[in-house]
Structure 1
Amino acid sequence: MSTNTPLPPEALDEWLAALAAHLGLDAEIIPTGLLLDVARDVAHNVARPAAPLSLFLVGLAAAQAGGTAEDITAASAAATELALGWPATAE
């Protein structure tokens, strides 16, 4: 079933836990706040469409490094650093 109704904030953890389980991942290592911060920084400093794609790359980098919580944190920090230093585009 498809809906255009956004997910309420209180349901976010439930959704992520269900998706993680469905994908065979450990939901306990998902730093939701950190990943949302990365998405925000990329969306505001690079481009909105770059946010989900950047989180995909963060996930790939973390998995390649070993997939631990520390790997997710390191990949997130690298993405945030790059996004915050990204040159502003002319408007």
Structure 2
Amino acid sequence: MNVLHEWTILACEELGIDPARVDRDQILDLTKEVAHGVARPAAPLTAYLLGLAQGAGTAPEDAVAKLTTLAKNWGDQRTQTLTDG
């Protein structure tokens, strides 16, 4: 068992989450895109915000895909936001 898998299992147990509901690779891919496309500190913040939205039942089904796309297009989005305001 690798450390990441073991950590995921133990953290899920501590939080009362079924580990089968956690798509670790999908979250790691999301945070990689955010860290590289936006800023490193934005990666854990994004994961936290996603968790809050899912816990509150407000995250859309494709929330991870939407956030990944947002991170990949961050330069374009940022330029657009700066010129709109």
Determine which of 28, 36, 48 is the counterpart of 2:28: 36
Residue 66 of structure 1, CA deviation: 7.0
Aligned-residue CA RMSD (Å):
2.4
- TM-score, with length taken from structure 1: 0.74
1:76 matched to which residue of 2? 64
Identity percentage over the alignment?
38
Which one has a larger percent helix, Structure 1 or Structure 2? 2
Contact 1:61/1:75 (8 A) holds in 2? no
Does residue 14 of the first structure (1) align with residue 2 of the second (2)? Answer: no
Q: Structure 1: which 5+ runs fail to align? A: 1-8
- For this pair of structures, how many residues does the alignment match? 77
- TM-score, with length taken from structure 2: 0.79
2:49 matched to which residue of 1? 57
Residue 64 of structure 1, CA deviation: 2.2
Q: Structure 2: which 5+ runs fail to align? A: 79-85
Does residue 87 of the first structure (1) align with residue 75 of the second (2)? Answer: yes
